[in-house]
Amino acid sequence: MRTKLFKFAFIVGLAILVSSCAREETPTDSLKGALDGKFLIGTALNSIQIYGDDSAATEIIVRNFNSIVAENCMKSEIIQPEEGVFDFRQSDAMVDFGVAYDMYIVGHCLIWHSQAPDWLFMDAGGKYVSREVLIERMKTHITTLVERYKGRVDAWIVVNEAFLDDGSWRNSRFYDIIGPAYIELAFQFAHEADPKAELLYNDNSMFHEGKRNSVVELVNDLKSKGIRIDGVGMQAHSGLDSIPPLDEFEKSIEAFDAAGVDVHVTELDITVIPLLSRDIGAEVSADFKYWEMMDPYPNGLPDSVSIALHDRYMEFFDLFLRQHDKIKRVTVWGLTDDQSWRNYWPIQGRTDYPLLYDRNYDAKPVVADIIKAAQSLEE
Ligand code: G3I
């Protein structure tokens, strides 16, 4: 109890200190300071960070980022593991954190085929529920979350990953039971629950032409029906070389902007260890056995790879800065290398280096270079 009280007092104290400094001046040598006026810069929080158990991480986050999203705790199987049983402990703490530091808070995610609990789709006899029942359950889930955080969560990822790379529909249980209308229903329910919240569609591998076209079509379709959609989230789980090809990624930024929605780069990280196939994207259902050649840098990165990682990050940020008038937010999927999902997916126990801060919580040199690039844009 005393530890909890201490943590709470620490977070409140730090919030007061930082917000009073922040009101006076955002440090220009921070990511958020340098990128101010271009786009929001965000990070995904894990449980330890949400609860303020990692004060070194809190300091970096508060100094450098003006947007947060929960990496896991708002997913349906975590927040509503059984019908009608909601666990808001972490999500409440996440939203309190964002409010305390005056951040742009993103809810991730209301409807996603993955990490959805089985009960959502099943009846008592173990058969799939009817369309009507699933719509009702979807409505309850969305309404409960969005109303709870009304006026505090700025934007919701309403639907995540509804399309395959070629642009065809993913045969998720939502799609199979409800049909394509599940997307517009989800957006409607979210809008009814908080008419002021921004509503986003989010997907991976958005550089694929087929997916780009389907997402543009979806935006146009929702708009033509008068259904609110504010933005498209482009996940950016990337590799050092070809994934994603930046020219195609840029075409998608331009296409979504031309469709009249905000572009959010939602999940940026750059793996330096082998992907198992060219198009592995971010599908989380795979689970491969660990073997040594797949974990080439357990004791540190050779200089040549550090430089390649640095250059690849700069290519991304040069693109984001060039297109900053079309981009509302860039969010990195995690803070420090040791905490990234890349270390445990699709193989457990590897050592990856995909983020902006290393295992000692030191900023990689690329952070200073991003700041410089952003500052030089003004000159
Ligand atoms: O919390 C349990 C822990 O109790 C247990 O001991 C441990 C054993 O493996 O698992 C822990 O849960 C893991 C959880 O992350 C928290 O670390 C899950 O197994 C693991 O599957 C889960 O992975 C998350 C994954 O989504 C699936 O939800 C990653 O952290 C998260 O980074 C990743 O994020 C997704 C986005 O939501 C959507 N886009 C793709 C992106 C990357 O896959």
Q: How do residues 207-231 score in pLDDT, each as one tens digit?
A: 999 999 999 999 999 999 999 999 9
Once rounded to an integer, what is the mean pLDDT over residues 77-99? 98
| Dist. CA 206–CA 339, nearest whole Å | 25
Q: Provide Rg for the chain, Cα atoms.
A: 20
235 lines ligand 1 (CB under 6 A): yes
pLDDT at position 191 is: 98
The CA 313 to ligand 1 mean position distance, Å, reads 24
Is residue 4 scored above 80 in pLDDT? Answer: no
The CA 254 to ligand 1 mean position distance, Å, reads 31
203 lines ligand 1 (CB under 6 A): no
Residue 288's pLDDT band, with cuts at 50, 70 and 90, is: low
Angle formed by the axes of helices 303-322 and 365-378, nearest 10° = 30
Assess contact for 48 and 338: CB atoms under 8 A.
no
Q: How do residues 5-25 score in pLDDT, each as one tens digit?
A: 445 455 555 555 555 544 446
pTM beyond cutoff 0.85: yes
Among residues 278, 268, 267, 273, the alpha carbon closest in space to that of 305 is found at: 273
The set of residues, in sequence order, having a beta carbon less than 8 Å from that of 335 and lying 6+ positions away, is: 43, 45, 49, 57, 60, 61, 355, 356, 357
pLDDT at position 379 is: 55
Q: List the residue whose alpha carbon is closest to atom 20 of ligand 1.
A: 341
The CA 93 to ligand 1 mean position distance, Å, reads 19
pLDDT at position 347 is: 86
| Ligand 1 site-directed mutation target among 205, 206, 284, most atoms within 8 Å of CB | 284
Q: Which of 10-19, 84-93, 116-125, 283-292 has the lowest mean pLDDT?
A: 10-19
Local structure of 154: helix, strand or coil? coil
Helix (H) or strand (E) run with residue 199 in it: strand 198-203
Q: How do residues 113-150 score in pLDDT, each as one tens digit?
A: 999 999 999 999 999 999 999 999 999 999 999 999 99
| Dist. CA 202–CA 339, nearest whole Å | 23
- Architecture, CATH, for domain 2-376: Alpha-Beta Barrel (3.20)
284 lines ligand 1 (CB under 6 A): yes
Give the side-chain half-sphere CA count within 13 A for 54. 16
Once rounded to an integer, what is the mean pLDDT over residues 82-108? 98
pLDDT at position 27 is: 83
Structure tokens at 340: 């990234």
282 lines ligand 1 (CB under 6 A): yes
